[in-house]
Amino acid sequence: MTMDGSIGGSVTAPRIRIIEIHAFERDISLRLPFRFGAATLERAPQAFVRVRVEDEEGRTAIGGAAEMMVPKWFDKNPALTPAQNVDQLRASIRAAAAASLEASAPTTLFAAARLNEAETVRRLPGNPLAACFGPSLIARAVLDAYCRLAGISFFDAVRRNLVGIGGAMLPGDIGADAASAMLASLRPAGSISARHTIGLVDPITDGDIVHPVDDGLPQSLEAVIAHYGNHWFKIKLSGAIDADIDRLTRIAAVLDRVPDYRVTVDGNEQFVAAEQLDALLARIGAAPRLARLRAAIAFVEQPFSREITMETPLGGLAAQLPFLIDESDDGDGAFTRARRLGYTGVSSKTCKGIYRSLLKAIRMKTGTVPGLFLSGEDLTCQAGLAVQQDLALVSLLGLSHVERNGHHYVAGMQGAPQAEKACFAAAHPDLYEQGGEGPRLAIRDGRIAMSSLGAVGYASGVLPDFDAMEPLS
């Protein structure tokens, strides 16, 4: 990137300066407990960031972003309490905000995000996944503000590479011209398949429900299928083979009623060795009642803890199914290292950074290694900015399905005032339907319609009511 913002070819990226950052939160209670790995989530705060940017002509605009601060995902250290996990994420937001405001020189959006991420990781050593939470929020909010300032959509900003992917901040294995050409080739989809998450304590049939929730929304897997029409599913595994086989058998009995279904299975770091997972897959393959489910598996996600993943080759497992890293994807070089071990997939999550997802897609589409894939995964993205910005990203990346679970575990835009809910519902009538407490994500025949995400800004025609929120604790 030259001093005038040139990033390759004839593209010139605008430069901005971040002049104001405020952080807020809303407490979210789940309608159903969500167990993933060894953790069970019942409540967590949602973080919001509001930024103001200024361009080189002195014009300013405000943008926003949001993400749940989920404990026991970014850091599964058992010595830390869930409250301490959330405080890690708050600390990341504060450190990223401080570093952003110290940077006085205008720069491209991409360069600003990359510099902020590197500086925040330096200030918060030890867990880059947690440290990058704050930079990921700020990068989204800055992009939102720029799009509003320029009067363009997120899709336009990325496809025209006005975000500035190129220059000194670009990894050496990616060419600037190839990156711009690849981004220009992207076409957002009007809808996407919703991959329903089956948590470890979720009821499979209505007969399994112990604590009914009388809110008009489905609780059991069979009720979810009847209500939303899903054809894609994500099954959480516990690592306890007998328990997993029993539960998979009960799940298969329900899924086998669905024509042409597909599943992904998530190990959530619960397997201690490749042999343990191989034994589970062998048991699945030998069970007649699991035949359709086994044939439906698209890939296996993050079976081993991040502490051992990069020292645990998949070996013969890689010949059975595609494997994807998620929690182990904590930096630019993680997927390259994982590929040497037999992994071919990596997750896209806005909480890990939108530019990381874009760089992964550029590498896959401009590189020479066949068979690599990106998958859209959820961190209980809530209705409003969080789910909209993540959906816009996976739509532009060309993914055909994305894990969506926030709408299942939380009913609608919890914590938002009625006026804010009404504004989001009016701005995105294809994305939301009206529930008892306001707008909630609409899934029809297993798909999410999202054409309205092409609004000016980063996937949202309106901003939340920041004045109605609590400052970051």
Residue from 134, 178, 136, 239 nearest 458 by CA: 136
324 and 179, same domain (yes or no):
no
For residue 145, give Cα distances in angstroms to 5, 84, 114, 163, 328.
19, 31, 17, 12, 31
Between CA 472 and CA 89 the distance in angstroms is 11
Retrieve residue 402's tokens. Answer: 């994305």
116 and 231, same domain (yes or no):
no
pLDDT band at 262 (very low <50, low <70, confident <90, very high): very high
Residue 465 lies in a domain: no
Cβ-proximal residues to 228 (8 Å cutoff; 6+ apart), any chain: 194, 196, 218, 443, 444, 446
Residue 357 lies in a domain: yes
Is the pLDDT at 35 greater than 50, yes or no? yes
Residue from 350, 312, 311, 355 nearest 332 by CA: 355
* Nearest-5° Cα angle at 96, 95 to 98: 65
Helix axes 109-123, 354-366, angle to 10 degrees: 110
Q: What is the pLDDT of residue 462?
A: 98
Give the model confidence (pLDDT) of 372-416 as tens digits: 999 999 999 999 999 999 999 999 999 999 999 999 999 999 999
Between CA 298 and CA 282 the distance in angstroms is 17
Is the pLDDT at 20 greater than 90, yes or no? yes
- Residue range 438-447: mean pLDDT, rounded: 97
Question: What is the helix (H) or strand (E) element at residue 55, kind and residue range?
Answer: strand 39-55
Q: What is the pLDDT of residue 436?
A: 83
203 and 309, same domain (yes or no):
yes
Q: What is the pLDDT of residue 10?
A: 44
212 and 147, same domain (yes or no):
no
pLDDT band at 8 (very low <50, low <70, confident <90, very high): low
178 and 253, same domain (yes or no):
no
Residue 472 lies in a domain: no
271 and 372, same domain (yes or no):
yes
Retrieve residue 384's tokens. Answer: 């409003």
Q: What is the pLDDT of residue 6?
A: 54
Backbone angles phi, psi at 249, to 5 degrees: -65, -40
Last residue of a domain, one of 184, 214, 247: 184
What is the signed CA dihedral for 311, 316, 321, 325, rounded to 10 degrees?
Answer: 0
Residue 387 lies in a domain: yes
Between CA 72 and CA 82 the distance in angstroms is 7
360 and 435, same domain (yes or no):
yes
Is the pLDDT at 2 greater than 90, yes or no? no
Retrieve residue 248's tokens. Answer: 């998979």
61 and 177, same domain (yes or no):
yes
3-state secondary structure of 327: coil
Residue from 447, 44, 403, 74 nearest 235 by CA: 403
Cβ-proximal residues to 317 (8 Å cutoff; 6+ apart), any chain: 274, 277, 278, 281, 300, 323, 342
Residue 1 lies in a domain: no
147 and 279, same domain (yes or no):
no
pLDDT band at 138 (very low <50, low <70, confident <90, very high): very high
Cβ-proximal residues to 456 (8 Å cutoff; 6+ apart), any chain: 147, 148, 151, 152, 153
pLDDT band at 12 (very low <50, low <70, confident <90, very high): confident
Residue 9 lies in a domain: no
393 and 267, same domain (yes or no):
yes
Q: What is the pLDDT of residue 269?
A: 97
> Can you give the CATH number for the domain in which 103 is found?
3.30.390.10
- Residue range 341-360: mean pLDDT, rounded: 98
Between CA 303 and CA 109 the distance in angstroms is 35
Residue 118 lies in a domain: yes
Give the model confidence (pLDDT) of 180-236 as tens digits: 999 999 999 999 999 999 999 999 999 999 999 999 999 999 999 999 999 999 999
Retrieve residue 247's tokens. Answer: 């539960």
Domain of 428 in residue numbering reads as 191-458
439 and 387, same domain (yes or no):
yes
Give the model confidence (pLDDT) of 280-336 as tens digits: 999 999 999 999 999 999 999 999 999 999 999 999 999 999 999 999 999 999 999
Residue 116 lies in a domain: yes
Is the pLDDT at 136 greater than 80, yes or no? yes
- Residue range 64-80: mean pLDDT, rounded: 96
Residue from 89, 110, 114 nearest 157 by CA: 110
Between CA 74 and CA 6 the distance in angstroms is 36
324 and 369, same domain (yes or no):
yes
Last residue of a domain, one of 120, 153, 184: 184
Q: What is the pLDDT of residue 437?
A: 83
Q: What is the pLDDT of residue 3?
A: 37
> Can you give the CATH number for the domain in which 278 is found?
3.20.20.120
Return the percentage of the chain with pLDDT > 70, whole number. 98
Between CA 233 and CA 251 the distance in angstroms is 10
Residue from 98, 45, 84 nearest 472 by CA: 45
End-to-end Cα separation, the chain, in angstroms: 38
Between CA 213 and CA 28 the distance in angstroms is 16
Structural domain count, the chain? 2
Between CA 283 and CA 242 the distance in angstroms is 9
Higher pLDDT, 6 or 373: 373
Retrieve residue 106's tokens. Answer: 């205008």
Between CA 306 and CA 322 the distance in angstroms is 18
- Residue range 127-152: mean pLDDT, rounded: 98
- Residue range 164-168: mean pLDDT, rounded: 94
* Chain centre distance of CA 327: 12
Last residue of a domain, one of 184, 219, 251: 184
- Residue range 437-454: mean pLDDT, rounded: 96
